[in-house]
Amino acid sequence: MPWSILELMRNEPEVLKEHIKKRQLEPSIVDSAVALDSRWRAILTKINELRHHHNVVSSEITRARGEERRKLIEEARSLKNSLEEAERELRAIEEERMKAIRGLPNVVEDGVPVGGEEASVPIRFWGKPKVYKDYVVSFEEQTEKYGFIPNYEIIDFKPVGHADMLENVLKLADTLKAGEVSSSRFYYLFDDIVWLDFSLLLFAIDRLTSKGYSLVLPPYMLRYGVINSVIDLETFKDAIYKIEGEDLYMIATAEHPIAALYYNEEIYDDELPKKYVGFSPAFRKEAGAGNRDLKGIFRVHQFHKVEQFVFSLPEESKKYHEEIIGNAEEIFRELGLPYRIVNIASGDLGACATKKYDLEVWMPSQGKFREMVSASNCTDWQAYRLNIRLIRRKGMVRDYVHTLNSTGIASTRVITAIIENYQLPDGSVVVPKVLRRYLEPFERAPKEVIKPRMVRP
């Protein structure tokens, strides 16, 4: 079976346009892709005919002698000229066609709310958020408006924001010095916060490997052709760092190298699903972020991440999409961080995703739910570009696998959530119980509480 988007583009372009409109993109990109594709196919047919003729003449040369041979060679030469001209014509259009086709986003799954960012809808809530008394109205707007009445606790003290906590209360981060020696959105973290970072990663790795996901430490850099197959142009522009003078790009998440694990390979249906949990640092330019979240460590150029990744049968990808968001929810429930799950609106989906769930944790000092996890079903969009085929043994039918990815833990973001949710009025931060067993082996690691310091270490 060919790639689903190409099939749709050729057979039902109007349907594909509806999907593009839902994403608030220009539907005419389909028309230009279709036009380039038909033109390309017409030239290709012409070339095939010329090549055939040329092949026939060439094979006659083998047997011919004398004058006849001389004439045949002359004919082959002239065919070669017409062929080269047609090939130039094809090359002229080929790259443009490929760009147009690769520029097409995935379709939008049924049930995804249609509209821009504001159209995204929370679909479930968990936990008992701590709501500072002045934020109660705003909290209700973020819950009751969608028909949910979660249980919450009103608190009298306003927790200090994570950036001030880290820099001025706990004194366990230095973003000013990092800004000076690297640039903004970098950080130094110290002692208890570093232990916290590692324990979060180990906790997520422990949970996910227990569920049968294979642990993988992937390459942190990829070639252009590979990384460009995993992500869309927007992500590339806004997120990806390049190594000067080499064909290497730094990954923005382990999703990229794990997706590439089967680059140009075939997977038999009885080997699926393949489930992985990857660990890697994540490097992001955050070029499109402007001044947003400039303070602290919520939005940074570099952090640690545990990632879930699944290669699945096409008919099972929806099931695994629910599974990976479910795994992430389990992790956040065990951490005791109140969250909501949001079904992301069509206009806010990445080009790869047909549907996306975000997990957003309640941040008491900001009075908002903030994104901690993003779980996407990419169906065959990445697999087509990476050329990862699925072979169904019954009848040896060739198809494309489906790929899915979800955050497990993104260290710095979860640290901000812990600092805001586990903060006591005296400025100390309680260590979530579930992390303690990962801190226990280390003499100097915090076990129960992280206390404010007088001076930065």
Partner RNA sequence: GCCGGCGUAGCCUAGCCUGGUAAGGCGGUGGCCUCGAGAGCCACUGGGCUUUGCCCACGCAGGUUCGAAUCCUGCCGCCGGCGCCA
Interface with RNA (CB under 7 A): 2, 41-42, 44-49, 51-52, 54-59, 61-62, 73, 76-77, 80, 266, 389, 393-396, 398
Neighbours of 85 (CB within 10 A): 12
CB of 26 to RNA, least distance (A): 24
Residue with smaller CB distance to RNA, 2 or 116: 2
Residue with smaller CB distance to RNA, 57 or 201: 57
CB of 61 to RNA, least distance (A): 4
Closest to 386 (Cα-Cα) out of 276, 245, 227? 227
CB of 391 to RNA, least distance (A): 7
203 phi and psi angles, rounded to 5 deg: -60, -50
CB of 229 to RNA, least distance (A): 15
CA pair distance 133, 111, nearest whole angstrom: 35
Neighbours of 66 (CB within 10 A): 7
CB of 5 to RNA, least distance (A): 13
Cβ neighbours for 263, distance < 8 A, ≥ 6 positions apart: 226, 229, 386, 387, 388
Residue with smaller CB distance to RNA, 58 or 302: 58
Residue with smaller CB distance to RNA, 45 or 209: 45
CB of 42 to RNA, least distance (A): 5
Q: Which residues pair with 188 in a beta bridge?
A: 174
Helix (H) or strand (E) holding 126: strand 121-126
- On whether the CB atoms of residues 429 and 450 are closer than 8 A, the answer is yes
Residue with smaller CB distance to RNA, 72 or 331: 72
Residue with smaller CB distance to RNA, 80 or 171: 80
CB of 76 to RNA, least distance (A): 3
CB of 452 to RNA, least distance (A): 35
CA pair distance 328, 341, nearest whole angstrom: 10
- Cα-based torsion angle of the residue sequence 43, 47, 91, 76 in order, rounded to the nearest 10 degrees: -150
Helix (H) or strand (E) holding 250: strand 249-250
CA pair distance 259, 310, nearest whole angstrom: 9
Residue with smaller CB distance to RNA, 8 or 297: 8
| Residue that the structure tokens 């372009």 belong to | 13
Q: Which residues pair with 342 in a beta bridge?
A: 122, 358
Q: What share of the chain is helix, strand, coil (3-state, %, to 5)?
A: 50, 20, 30
CB of 397 to RNA, least distance (A): 8
Residue with smaller CB distance to RNA, 62 or 183: 62
- On whether the CB atoms of residues 134 and 158 are closer than 8 A, the answer is yes
Residue with smaller CB distance to RNA, 43 or 306: 43
DSSP, residue by residue, 136-198? HHHHHHTTGGGT-----EEESS-PPPHHHIIIIIS--EEHHHHHHHT-TT--EE-HHHHHHHH
Residues in the chain: 457
> Is the alpha carbon torsion for 290, 291, 293, 298 positive or negative?
positive
Q: Is 218 left (phi over 0), alpha (psi -120 to 50) or beta?
A: beta
Residue with smaller CB distance to RNA, 65 or 292: 65
CB of 14 to RNA, least distance (A): 19
Residue with smaller CB distance to RNA, 148 or 224: 224
CB of 223 to RNA, least distance (A): 8
Closest to 162 (Cα-Cα) out of 297, 284, 322? 297
CB of 176 to RNA, least distance (A): 30
Helices (H), 217-316: 224-230, 233-239, 255-259
Residue with smaller CB distance to RNA, 55 or 214: 55
